[in-house]
A and B are shown apart, each in its own frame.
Chain A
Amino acid sequence: MSQVSEVPESGRSGSTPVPPTLTVPIQLRVNGQIHTIQVEPRTTLVDALRTHLGMTGTKLVCGQGACGACTVLLDGERVTACIILAIMCDGREVKTIEGLALPDGTPHPLQAAFVRHDALQCGFCTPGQIMSAVAFLRDHPEPTIDEIRAGMAGNLCRCAAYIGIREAVADAAKQMRASTATSGAATLAQDAGEMS
């Protein structure tokens, strides 16, 4: 754990004097890039991403880990970032929706499939759905529809695009298997959420 210090909270300079707050420095590796930020111990991972790093692709909905909208990958595993403290992620690798497309902007097969199957309406749960599906497909590369329904049951969609979502996940699985077979390591690494 990093050393605790009394310093002004980072990124909070303004016309009003900012009071000293108990904050700690942490290092987050987000999509392969290292960020050092000062956070309060109570700061959640979703707040660190959205407010401290300005990465608003990860959404906050229920605040209780119940809906999955804030799902990111922490060292490759699905977590709900609204109930993980940022200080618990010190030195760890976080993968978010912003880091999923290839560097040239080519969407991840899941992102493309979500558009193709209209697996979204308002889109607010979508980043969490997709991040959840990345981890799910890594563990279940050839899922049945019932496995998808169970494996994605932690990600709620209020617009109820569930049928599009399961079709998109099934279709992306096919695409990813095909591209793994043909193009090898680069896609494999990306699918595993390790590419940065």
Chain B
Amino acid sequence: MTTTIPQVPVNPQDPTSNPTSTPAEQMHSIGQPLPRIDGLAKVTGQAIYSFDHALPDMVFGTILSATIPHGQVVRVDHRRALALPGVLRVYSCENQPPTPPRVEGGAPYIWFDREIRYDGQDVAMVVATTQAIADEAVGLITVDVAPAPFVATVRAAMAPDAPQAGETPNVEDPGSPYGEPAQYTRGDVAAGLLEAAVTITAAYDLPSQIHNPWEAHVTLATWDGDCVTVYDSVQYPIGARNFIANALGIPSEQVRVIAEYVGGGFGSKLSTKTQAPLAALAARHLERPVRVRLTRAQMHRNARHRPQTLHHLRLGATSAGILTAIDHEVWSGGAPKAQYYESAASTSRYLYACPNLRSAHWRVRVNQNPPGSMRAPGEQQSQFALECALDELAHALRIDPITLRQRNQASTHAVSGKPFSRNSIPTLLDLGSQRIGWDQRAQPPGSQRDGALWRGIGCAVAFYPLHMARAEGRVRLQADGSVLVESSGVDLGTGTYTILAQAAADGLGTTPADITVHLGDTTLPVAPIAGGSMLAASVTPAVYSAALDARQQLIDAALDLPDGLFAGCSASDLVIGAGRVTHRRDAGRAITFAELLRLRGTTEIVGQCNFAADDLPMEYGNFGAHFAEVTVDVETGIVRVPRFVAVHDSGRVLNPTTYRSQIRGGIIWGLSAVLLEASHMDGHRGRITNANLVEYLVPTALDIGEIDVTWLDEPDAGANALGMKSAGEVGITGAAPAIANAIFNATGLRLRHPPFQPPRVLMALRAAGITA
């Protein structure tokens, strides 16, 4: 059961009187548990995803992947593939089209590189009349290669005599490709550690993981003259449009990307994969629609991944548990020619108050496909390491882990210097500890045993910063009575369709049933990526404000009617709904949108808002306190999580139903990250050995126990017009360390190398002399 908990004490600097915030009395739909409005389409099979779109004369592409991790393509022989009936065309480095210079400058797009830098890299593509023929034909292509020395694992690449994966040294300071510098120091860490009464040192090794959205990376492209329409499964249609246009050397206006329904993304669909421009290229050559999809194996081998991260932490504290030093250093897997690094020591910089701090990131290039953002990239691993290390410190100090966290609360973001609008962590920890029964945990660790089942409880803080970006809101009142909300942003399953209908309904003063939402089309207004948990917090306030604008225009028009229908009325007398404007107390005084627009001599009223995502004077965070109860079967090594408690603060919650689903999903992703998921790289062959959904483990229904999610439903007024934040990523950040800390509480053993699959747990138990 979900309950709403009374309000959190807010930072006294919080501008609660912010004039942009919206009073609760105007919210009739926002905050209600409206079932998702795209639900019926999805449960009946009527929702058409990019993978489902089909066009007459459509043909199919299959990509051939490299099977060496490093080297040169000497020759690609297409002949046997071309001889297979049904094969229409083969592309490789032997015949790739000369690409025109990029419209926006920069090096031309390389379709198939002769230099192979990782196993799984594109080598060729076959287009054929059926997918089966294309799949068969790629196996008939002969590729001669000249292999080069390679290094495929992070630890091997860090060795002094390791082969170089790319053109630069394997281990590098990544600099500041995303704004924040990779290296950060404040105070004097060495002095802080000396000053400490207790210090701990811990190393954590977190595995590479694969997004595995259920809908593959898939693209259907079809040309009409100079323009191409692309049905693509993406998290950022505008980015896909620009990528495809650049590859083809055409202006972006000639590319339209559509993604009405997206079968999951989790970060993998933020960047456009090669199948998209390849589909557009082949469709242009063949003058017919072309669909190209990645196979499940290719989604493991060539569609980005969460890179492995190696963490080294040192913490120091006074005997009262006041932090004197944090030193968090991370080495994360990178790839040749890719600038991405995992900012996996990021939250350590500011989540707790600490005067002496170093947070350092090193990128370790290996011959693997480029890493990329995967649900809470950086924060997920940073929180794992920091929250586990704090638990280790609390144990060393003999202080309650909750108390330790509460004593080091940060009221100011130490990196930006801005105050947090509020920091609800201490309150959330208190509330969560009551709900889980914190007092019932094993004291000392390892003391609660029921036969072979050892039981424990652990906690961790969940955190994700609030990101917002430019977004346009557009609300169109049509003569047929419909209200259209339009955005190029997508709904990955997060509930975008539903919350935008709710926001527009409240802005307009009507009900969600009156609203039609159109998403996922680059011809619609600008929206940011569906990533970094920023889409909802950017587009929803924009749509809400656009609806307020539309309402104002409609009311002004109604009050201004020449026949005096609403003579003597004020705006508050008028009600909007079901395609008409009606007098609140006299239903006989009403006019339809159609009539009103006709009298105005126009076809529609368009409400607009350009949400700029200005630099704000404060820091806004999504906070959570996570508590896991685990059992460790010391006979089998199986860890189960029968009960999980999460208490969150995400500002105003727009829809409790979809919000709860987001948080639960994040928590299960955390459970999966710590207990199940790892992409295994065979360092001897440079190839991933479990590139499929049989050997890459994800949770099933049997892995899921009770998950109790509650939240403070308190708008954070200064954040935006709705006082809302986000939900997509915060849920994953606390779950994994809470479970790891619960395993310690159950067994007294620190496991620092997830995933904690039974063999690994069993070996640790046996090494410690624990048997059933």
Q: Are A159 and B57 in contact (CB under 8 A)?
A: no
Asked whether any CB of chain A lies closer than 8 Å to the CB of B52, the reply is yes
Q: Tell me, in angstroms, the Cα distance from A58 to B495 when the chains sit together.
A: 22
Q: Is the CB of A64 within 8 A of B36?
A: no
Q: Given A9-B129, A47-B131, A120-B42, is A159 in contact with B493 using a C-beta cutoff of 8 Å?
A: yes
Q: Is A73 an interface residue (CB 8 A)?
A: no
Q: Does the CB pair A67–B85 fall under 8 Å?
A: no
**Which A residues lie within 8 Å of B85 (CB)?**
19-21
Contact partner of A15 (CB less than 8 A), chosen from B48, B57, B672, is: B57
Decide if A120 touches B39 in the complex (CB within 8 Å): yes
Chain A residue, CB-CB nearest to B265: A122
- A88 close to chain B: CB less than 8 A: no
Determine if B242 is an interface residue (Cβ-Cβ < 8 Å).
no
Q: In the complex, which residues of chain B have a beta carbon less than 8 angstroms from the beta carbon of A19?
A: 85-86, 129
The verdict on B698 contacting chain A, using a C-beta distance below 8 Å, is yes
From A168, which residue of chain B is reached at the shortest CB distance?
Answer: B43
- Are A116 and B35 in contact (CB-based, < 8 A)? yes
Instruction: Return the chain A residue nearest B40 by Cβ.
Output: A115
A54 to chain B, nearest CB (A): 6
Which residue of chain B is the closest to A148 with respect to CB atoms? B701
How many Å lie between the Cα of A99 and that of B132 in the bound state? 27
At the interface, yes or no: A107 with Cβ under 8 Å from chain B? Answer: yes
Could you give, for residues 84-122 of chain A, a 1 whenever the CB lies within 8 Å of some chain B CB and a 0 otherwise?
000000000000111011000001001110111010111
A149 touches B130 (CB 8 A): no
* B185-193, B212-220, B399-407 - interface stretch: B212-220
Q: State in angstroms the CA–CA spacing of A13 and B59 once bound together.
A: 11
B413 close to A (CB within 8 Å): no
**A163 in contact with B692 (CB, 8 Å):** no
A156 in contact with B698 given A16-B288, A63-B295, A64-B692 (CB within 8 Å): yes
Which residues between 4 and 61 of chain A lie within 8 Å of chain B, taking CB atoms? 9, 12-16, 18-21, 40, 42-43, 47, 50-51, 54-61
Closest-CB distance, A150 to chain B (whole angstroms) = 6
Give 1 or 0 for each of B71-100: 1 = CB within 8 Å of chain A CB. Answer: 000000000000001101000000000000
The verdict on A155 contacting chain B, using a C-beta distance below 8 Å, is yes
CB neighbours of A112 from chain B (8 A): 43
A146–B49 Cα distance when bound, in Å, is 33
Q: Is B661 an interface residue (CB 8 A)?
A: yes
Q: How many residues of B contact A (CB 8 A)?
A: 67
CA gap between A178 and B293 in the complex, in Å: 44
Q: CA A116 – CA B493 in complex, angstroms?
A: 15
* Closest-CB distance, A124 to chain B (whole angstroms): 3
B225 in the interface (beta carbon within 8 A): no
In the bound complex, residues from chain A placing their C-beta under 8 Å from that of B48 are 56
B130 & A9 in contact (Cβ 8 Å cutoff): yes
Q: How far is the CA of A32 from the CA of B578 in the complex (A)?
A: 39
A120 in contact with B493 (CB, 8 Å): yes
Instruction: Report the bound CA distance from A64 to B662 in whole Å.
Output: 28
A164 to B701, CA, bound (A): 11
Q: Does B668 lie within 8 Å of A160, measured CB to CB?
A: yes
Interface string of A139-171 (1 = CB under 8 A from B): 000000000111011111011111111100000
Residues on A with beta carbons closer than 8 Å to the beta carbon of B698: 156, 158
Known: A64-B693, A121-B493, A159-B264. A107 touches B665 (CB 8 A): no
Q: Would A122 and B57 count as touching, CB distance under 8 A?
A: no
Give the docked Cα–Cα distance between A43 and B133 (Å). Answer: 11
Does B694 sit within 8 A of A, measured CB to CB? Answer: yes
- Residues 609 to 665 of chain B near chain A (Cβ within 8 Å): 657-658, 660-662, 664-665
The answer to whether the Cβ of B46 comes within 8 Å of any Cβ in the partner chain is: yes
Q: How far is the CB of B716 from chain A (nearest CB, A)?
A: 24
Task: Give the complex CA separation of A18 and B86 in angstroms.
Answer: 7
In the complex, what residue of chain B is closest to A166 when comparing beta carbons? B701
Q: Tell me if A57 and B45 are in contact (CB < 8 A).
A: yes
| Min CB gap B519→A, angstroms | 13
Q: Judge whether A160 and B699 touch: CB under 8 Å.
A: yes
Given contacts A21-B85, A47-B131, A160-B668, are A150 and B661 in contact (CB under 8 A)? no
> In the complex, are the beta carbons of A160 and B669 less than 8 A apart?
yes
Q: Is B3's beta carbon under 8 Å from chain A?
A: no
State whether the Cβ of B341 lies closer than 8 Å to any Cβ in chain A.
Answer: no
**CB closest chain-B residue, reference A57:** B45
The distance in angstroms between the C-alpha atoms of A153 and B215, with both chains bound, is 20
- Whether A173 sits at the interface, judged by CB under 8 Å, is no
Q: Which residues of chain A come closer than 8 Å to B213, judged between CB atoms?
A: 122, 124, 158
Instruction: Tell me if A79 counts as interface (CB < 8 A to partner B).
Output: no
Check A155 against B701 for contact (C-beta < 8 Å). Answer: yes
A55, A101, A121: the one within 8 Å of B661 (CB): A121
User: Is B47 an interface position by the 8 A CB rule?
Assistant: yes
Assembly CA distance A20 to B86 (angstroms): 8
Is B44 positioned at the interface, with any CB of A under 8 Å from its CB? yes
C-alpha gap A184/B745 in the complex (Å): 54
Can you name the residue of chain A whose Cβ is closest to the Cβ of B657? A118
> Please, which residues of chain A bring their CB within 8 A of the CB of B47?
123
Give complex CA distance A83, B41 in Å: 26
Given the complex, which residues of A lie within 8 Å of B452, measured CB to CB?
none
User: Any chain A CB within 8 A of the CB of B702?
Assistant: yes
Instruction: Return chain B residues, CB-CB under 8 Å to A163.
Output: 664, 704, 707
Asked, given contacts A101-B44, A123-B38, whether A12 binds B130 with beta carbons under 8 Å apart, the answer is: yes
A124: nearest chain-B partner, CB-CB:
B263
Q: How far is the CA of A115 from the CA of B700 in the complex (A)?
A: 20
* A66 sits at the interface (CB 8 A): yes
Set of chain B residues within 8 Å of A64, measured between Cβ atoms? 296, 692-694
Known contacts being A57-B44, A61-B693, A107-B40, is A15 close to B264, with CB within 8 Å? Answer: no
B58 to chain A, nearest CB (A): 9
Docked complex Cα distance between A59 and B215 (Å): 8
A69 within 8 A of B: yes
0/1 string, B680-708, CB within 8 A of A gives 1: 00000000000011100011111010010
B262 near A: Cβ within 8 Å? yes
CB proximity of A121 to chain B, nearest CB, Å: 3
Cβ A122 vs Cβ B215 within 8 A: yes
Which of B492, B692, B704: most chain A Cβ within 10 A?
B704
Would you call B338 an interface residue if the criterion is a C-beta within 8 Å of the partner chain's C-beta atoms? no
B280 to chain A: closest CB distance in Å? 18
Cβ of B595 within 8 Å of any chain A Cβ, yes or no, is no
Nearest Cβ distance between residue B656 and chain A, in whole angstroms? Answer: 10
A153 and B88 within 8 A (CB): no
* Apart from A64-B296, A107-B43, A126-B42: 6 A-B pairs, beta carbons within 8 A: A15-B57, A47-B132, A56-B54, A57-B44, A66-B693, A122-B492
Can you report 21 residue pairs joining A to B where beta carbons are below 8 Å apart? A9-B130, A15-B57, A19-B129, A21-B86, A56-B52, A61-B693, A62-B692, A67-B693, A98-B45, A118-B39, A118-B657, A121-B494, A121-B665, A123-B38, A149-B701, A158-B266, A159-B264, A160-B664, A160-B668, A162-B704, A164-B664
Shortest beta-carbon contacts, A-B, top 4: A57-B45, A121-B493, A123-B42, A122-B493
Interface positions of A (Cβ within 8 A of B)? 9, 12-16, 18-21, 40, 42-43, 47, 50-51, 54-64, 66-67, 69, 96-98, 100-101, 107, 110-112, 114-116, 118, 120-127, 130, 148-150, 152-156, 158-166
